[in-house]
Amino acid sequence: MGRHREFDADEALHIALQVFRRRGYEGTSISDLTDAMGITRPSLYAAFGNKEDLFRRTLDLYERRHLCFAHEALQAPTAREAVERLLRGYVDVLTDPLSPPGCLGVNGAVACSEASEPIREELIARRIVNENNLRNRLEKARADGDLPANEDPADWARYVVSIGLGMAVKAASGASRQELHRVADFAMRSWPTA
């Protein structure tokens, strides 16, 4: 009979998420993870696979727990309201006092060596999915007359995602929630009127 795990895998995954969020993928060692999670290396490997597998699982958890507001935001009645909800929701995630500041995806991708290229590619692919979801919402808005016909949904999606990425860098550098909400205010000033 195999031994029972001596730790709660869900709790350990939440701890790993915080470590990766604080240090990024490259900046986090296996020792950092095992020390924070209170487990041995063999237990980590048995439960989660290698560091890359664990990081992917923390990304999934991050999307489920912290970025879940995005799907609801895109359901807003107007495109403007959807974009504003996205930006404000993201500010709240970036500055959550119970988590390290910034974004797991941005912190994880900013400094990746060639050896970590698969992780960088994974983060870029997930970002593209999110940008495409926003573009699709804005294309619907344009078709419905909620976004002027001369506006390009792809350009707006790139712009909004770029604002979000910039806010993530600012949050990781110490910007306050209030400061980032002001960035969202400025971004919304450029929204076109239908």
| Same domain? 95 vs 159 | yes
**Nearest of 130, 148, 42, 149 to residue 90 by alpha carbon:** 130
Q: What's the pLDDT band for 194 if we cut at 50, 70, 90?
A: low
- For 175, counting Cβ atoms within 10 Å of its Cβ (0-12 exposed, 13-18 middle, 19+ buried), the class is buried
Q: Above 60 in pLDDT, residue 4?
A: no
Cα–Cα distance for residue pair 6/38, rounded to 1 Å: 10
* 127-143 per-position pLDDT tens digit: 999 999 999 999 999 99
| Same domain? 76 vs 16 | no
The CATH number of residue 38's host domain is 1.10.10.60
Q: Above 60 in pLDDT, residue 8?
A: yes
Mean pLDDT of 6-32: 90
| Same domain? 160 vs 96 | yes
What pLDDT was estimated at residue 113? 67
| Same domain? 90 vs 168 | yes
Q: Above 70 in pLDDT, residue 16?
A: yes
Cα–Cα distance for residue pair 79/74, rounded to 1 Å: 8
Q: Above 80 in pLDDT, residue 111?
A: no
194 domain residue, yes or no = no
| Same domain? 140 vs 75 | yes
109 domain residue, yes or no = yes
**Nearest of 86, 88, 67 to residue 78 by alpha carbon:** 86
Contact 96, 168 (CB under 8 A): no
Domain that holds residue 13: 9-61
What pLDDT was estimated at residue 75? 97
The CATH number of residue 180's host domain is 1.10.357.10
| Same domain? 77 vs 172 | yes
| Same domain? 81 vs 155 | yes
Average model confidence (pLDDT) across the chain: 91
| Same domain? 93 vs 164 | yes
For residue 72, how many other CB atoms are within 10 A of its CB?
A: 12
Q: How far is CA 49 from CA 43, 46, 55, 56, in A?
A: 9, 6, 10, 10
| Same domain? 24 vs 73 | no
**Counts for the chain of helices (H) and strands (E), in that order:** 10, 0
* 155-180 per-position pLDDT tens digit: 999 999 999 999 999 999 999 999 99
| Same domain? 82 vs 52 | no
Q: HEC states along 92-157?
A: HHHCCCCCCCCCHHHHHHCCCCHHHHHHHHHHHHHHHHHHHHHHHHHHHHHHCCCCCCCCCHHHHH
Give me the number of domains the chain comprises.
Answer: 2
94 domain residue, yes or no = yes
